[in-house]
Structure 1
């Protein structure tokens, strides 16, 4: 039985800051941001969007009434959770009006959460072939204004429906994973900002990739030449390229050129959204599928997932016949076209707008947020969400 990605969509906030202008404001050469780390724009989350609303908006785009009935498991991968107890999946389940007879959980392991969710989903589908699983990767990357990590911030969510007989990608069985207890990136529960050892994290990202790639080749009996493209978790778009370059000499010049060319297509969306943690790998996959017109049915796509702390995994998937018909290309083009640029000054004000930390009630103005699903405030320490389509 084939199991894999039946639908995939994403959502990013309606505002962004230009990285050239941010560089100038921070007295940094613009090329350090646009070429050095490979970012052009950074999505900015207004206070009316959090990890729950971003995920719900991403899923709203792809689900239909049949999905609402058949989805009996919602897995919410995030490191930007809003509650230490209640899962973001429960909120999304209600906001989307899904079948009440469903499981709903939140999964956490830095940027690896959504990948873990997909593997759990595969097991569920194997036991329940007629059901569907909604897997979400939703995050807001925050390091603070004028910090070394500021240029790698971002916000957004990816939603995927995992099912039997998938229409987009069958996920193969040659998964290889690796865990090691390291401190390259972390966020203690008392902090709303992440801590990162940037140089160490980059080194570990590449080290983990090399180790799981070597193990994958042995387990699957496949080589670089068998990959049409490799998609990477992208904290910034240059990171995946650094890892890819470490193995390119294993392949012929033609294969190297193909992988490098397709890598660029896989970074288009990430370059203009920024880091979305758990969703970054799958935003890269979506970018490849929607921006590389020459992709053919039956092509094998490699995928490298990395979550600091750290867990890494390499796996692959096969594009299904007619997969292009099941993408939401026009909707995503419109999403980017409708976004509004804000100045660096406006971005700084928006960044500092947060919910009260003392539990005070607050009503937020959601009329300025065009998203269908918004955070409208808090009452009695409870977040309030609105689905404008209801």
Structure 2
């Protein structure tokens, strides 16, 4: 029995900052951001969008296309949680009016969260093949105004339906994992923005990639040339490029060209949205599926990394006619609806979003009708509405 990804939903807020504008405002050469970091735009979340609302909106992209009564598990991966106790998934469950029997909870390990959720869901479906599972990764990457990490911010969510006999990607048995207690990136309880040792984090990411990639190939008895594409968690696209260069070292020209071409396809959404933590790897997957030409049963390698640090390499095979399950026009429309912010507008929205509105203060979304948003707290309980 095959188990894997059957549906993918994507969401990002309706505002963005252009990297050329940001570079000019910070007295930097724009090419430092465009080429050195590999970013063009960065989605910005205002007070009305948080991990929960984005997760609801991502799931709604396919919710009415599935057998809703078969969903038996909902797992939410995030490092932008809205509550220290209550799971973000319960807000989603209520918004979508899921049946009360659905098992639901939240997981956290930096950017690894959605991969953890996916593996839990895969094993759940293997034991309960008549049921399906929904996994969500939703995050807002914030480092602060005029900080070194500012250019690697972003906001967005990916939601996926996991089921037996999937129609997009069948997950293969086995994985390679590697973890170590380090401080390359973290956010203490008293901080609203993350702390990061950028150069150290990049080196750990690359070291963990090499360890897990080599171990996975040895476990499976495969070679690099067996992969049609290798995709990566992308805190910024240049970091994935560095890992991909390691992957194609000493490979024949045909293999190197194929893996580089497909990496370029996988980074297109990230270049427009920025870092979305737990969902970044799976935004890479969606970008690959919509922008590359993949043959039936093409082998895709996936490298997941969460600072602190946890890494895993695993793989899947694309299903014939997977394109029928995608919505590239809808994804492009989602990006196109965004309005460009001036740097002054961006800074104002950024700082406002760090503050919780006064209890009872009503917020109004300026996004399109149909999208969910954070409306207020009432007696310190978060209230979400659909516009």
Quote the residue 1:346 is aligned against.
345
Quote the residue 2:280 is aligned against.
280
Question: C-alpha deviations, 1:42-70, integer Å up to 9, x for none?
Answer: 00001100000001000001112643211
1:70–1:99 Cα contact (<8 Å) kept:
no
2:322 pairs with 1:323: yes
Quote the residue 1:363 is aligned against.
362
Quote the residue 1:252 is aligned against.
252
Quote the residue 1:217 is aligned against.
217
1:359–1:380 Cα contact (<8 Å) kept:
no
Quote the residue 1:108 is aligned against.
108
* DSSP-derived class of the 2:10 partner: strand
Question: C-alpha deviations, 1:66-101, integer Å up to 9, x for none?
Answer: 432111111000000000100000001111122221
Alpha-carbon separation, structure 1, partners of 2:55 and 2:21? 29
* DSSP-derived class of the 2:67 partner: helix
Give the 5 Å matches for 1:153-168: 153-168=153-168
1:75–1:134 Cα contact (<8 Å) kept:
yes
Unaligned runs of at least 5 residues, structure 1: none
Alpha-carbon separation, structure 2, partners of 1:358 and 1:316? 43
Quote the residue 2:371 is aligned against.
372
Quote the residue 1:11 is aligned against.
11
Alpha-carbon separation, structure 1, partners of 2:24 and 2:31? 10
Assess, with a 3 A threshold, how the Cα gap between structure 1 residues 179 and 370 changes in structure 2: closer, same or farther.
same
Quote the residue 1:21 is aligned against.
21
2:262 pairs with 1:262: yes
TM-score (norm 2): 0.98
1:14–1:370 Cα contact (<8 Å) kept:
no
Once the two structures are TM-superposed, the CA of residue 368 in structure 1 deviates from its matched residue by 5.0
Quote the residue 2:91 is aligned against.
91
Assess, with a 3 A threshold, how the Cα gap between structure 1 residues 377 and 233 changes in structure 2: closer, same or farther.
same
Quote the residue 2:331 is aligned against.
332
Once the two structures are TM-superposed, the CA of residue 174 in structure 1 deviates from its matched residue by 2.5
Alpha-carbon separation, structure 2, partners of 1:211 and 1:254? 24
Assess, with a 3 A threshold, how the Cα gap between structure 1 residues 111 and 239 changes in structure 2: closer, same or farther.
same
* DSSP-derived class of the 1:363 partner: coil
State which drifts further: 246-255 or 49-58: 246-255
2:294 pairs with 1:295: yes
Alpha-carbon separation, structure 2, partners of 1:247 and 1:123? 29
CA-atom RMSD in angstroms: 1.3
Quote the residue 1:76 is aligned against.
76
Quote the residue 1:30 is aligned against.
30
2:383 pairs with 1:384: yes
Alpha-carbon separation, structure 2, partners of 1:223 and 1:131? 35
* DSSP-derived class of the 1:178 partner: strand
Alpha-carbon separation, structure 2, partners of 1:347 and 1:358? 18
Alpha-carbon separation, structure 2, partners of 1:382 and 1:306? 33
Once the two structures are TM-superposed, the CA of residue 366 in structure 1 deviates from its matched residue by 2.1
* DSSP-derived class of the 1:64 partner: helix
2:111–2:307 Cα contact (<8 Å) kept:
yes
Alpha-carbon separation, structure 2, partners of 1:109 and 1:88? 15
Question: C-alpha deviations, 1:278-321, integer Å up to 9, x for none?
Answer: 000000000000011x2112101100000000000000100011
Alpha-carbon separation, structure 1, partners of 2:240 and 2:66? 37
Once the two structures are TM-superposed, the CA of residue 104 in structure 1 deviates from its matched residue by 0.9
Alpha-carbon separation, structure 1, partners of 2:367 and 2:284? 29
2:233–2:284 Cα contact (<8 Å) kept:
yes
2:50 pairs with 1:50: yes
Alpha-carbon separation, structure 2, partners of 1:356 and 1:281? 29
Alpha-carbon separation, structure 2, partners of 1:302 and 1:203? 20
Unaligned runs of at least 5 residues, structure 2: none
TM-score (norm 1): 0.97
Runs of 4+ in 1 over 4 A off after TM superposition: 355-359, 367-371
